[in-house]
Amino acid sequence: MILVTGGAGFIGSNFVLGWLAHSDEPVVNLDKLTYAGNLANLASLANDPRHLFVHGDIGDSALVASLLARHQPRAILNFAAETHVDRAIAGAGNFIATNVDATFALLETVRAWWQAQDDAARARFRFLHVSTDEVYGTLQPGEAAFSETTPYAPNNPYAASKAASDHLVRAWHRTYGLPTLTTNCSNNYGPYQFPEKLIPHMIAQARAGQPLPVYGDGQQVRDWLFVTDHCAALRRVLEAGRPGATYNIGGSDEMANLDVVRTVCGILDELAPAAQGSHADRIEHVTDRLGHDRRYAIDAGKIARELGWTPAESFASGIRKTVEWYLAHADWLDALQASHAGQGERS
């Protein structure tokens, strides 16, 4: 049995689906179901006895303690987080509450339970904390990619809150011996992503014949990672990662946001042509985000050397699969947009 927190969100739900596709080991899935949590992502597991969904907060120590006592998980994967930079800039309170305070509460509850286990159970247990490359700050053109030893330099409230959570996880390993693993991933994309993020937002806007807003000059560079590759990396880290270690997970595909949008438009022109002209004709440059980091890039050499993981998808293959998925699941996208009218934003 494993316990997954935040397993109804984008990456978490993809992980749960992938886990149960590769293993019969049951999953307890704890999710608060904030705006970005969506049980429709897990609809295929509705009658699967291997999946137990629990609606709740990682900061609810009594609930978490009861789940630990009842299910005795051999591992916890913590996806639970507020993640959208625009929302953090508009109001950081929820980010501090979830990413810092609730993560602290989770660590304390897990530590108390873990310390009460026998030697064998303590030795085999793992706590895998899923984080982001944004904790490292920004890179200049030509500067070496982020490695696991790059100093933390977060530049926005979201990144700062995730940096704080990473530091807590590290401290709980160094001080108490809790067998933790931390992963820092680059920009994920793929099925089930909430349409405030760049790629699904552009697909949704294009389908509706609406403008495609791109921040600033659109030359902000990101390293793009297909979500199923990320999930495969997490399974490998859980299987063989060294307790206390950090692993950077990236797609080794750096692209500027504007080029990503143009690529999406090109695929849409082929698969779902606009009534007139190209979808790219509706690209509009809008005022840039406050404190917008210019470039992220991940050096994923450590996980390749130590654990043998490399991404299976290139950006070219992954982005086509992504656009095809959203076009084939228009009902999923339409229902989500209808239930969150007016909340669409950009990554």
Give the count of domains, the chain. 1
Q: Are 200 and 188 in contact (CB under 8 A)?
A: no
Instruction: Report yes or no on 96 lying in a domain.
Output: yes
Q: Quote the CA–CA distance of 190 and 322 in Å, as a whole number.
A: 5
pLDDT on residue 341: 64
Instruction: Report yes or no on 330 lying in a domain.
Output: no
Instruction: Report yes or no on 196 lying in a domain.
Output: no
CATH number where 87 lies: 3.40.50.720
Confidence tier at 346 by pLDDT (50, 70, 90)? very low
Instruction: Report yes or no on 340 lying in a domain.
Output: no
Q: How far is CA 117 from CA 3, 30, 122, 125, in A?
A: 16, 22, 6, 10
Residue 14 or residue 83, greater confidence: 14
pLDDT digits (tens, 9 = 90+) for 308-324: 999 999 999 999 999 99
Instruction: Report yes or no on 282 lying in a domain.
Output: no
Q: Are 265 and 206 in contact (CB under 8 A)?
A: yes
pLDDT above 90 for 84: no
pLDDT digits (tens, 9 = 90+) for 255-303: 999 999 999 999 999 999 999 999 999 999 999 999 899 999 999 999 9
Considering the entire predicted model, what is its pTM? 0.95
Structural domain containing residue 31: 2-189+227-250+296-312
Q: Are 79 and 6 in contact (CB under 8 A)?
A: yes
Sheet containing strand 75-78, strands side by side: 51-55, 27-31, 2-5, 75-78, 126-132, 180-185, 246-249
- Which residues have a Cβ under 8 Å from the Cβ of 286 and sit 6 or more positions away? 213, 214, 215, 216
Q: Measured over all CA atoms, what is the biggest interatomic distance in the chain, rounded to whole angstroms?
A: 67
Kindly state the tokens that stand for 259.
């080029």
| pLDDT (mean) for 334-339 | 86
pLDDT on residue 283: 98
Instruction: Report yes or no on 303 lying in a domain.
Output: yes
Instruction: Report yes or no on 335 lying in a domain.
Output: no
Catalytic residue ranges: 133-134, 158
pLDDT digits (tens, 9 = 90+) for 112-152: 999 999 999 999 999 999 999 999 999 999 999 999 999 99
Instruction: Report yes or no on 128 lying in a domain.
Output: yes
- φ and ψ at residue 211, rounded to 5 degrees: -60, 150
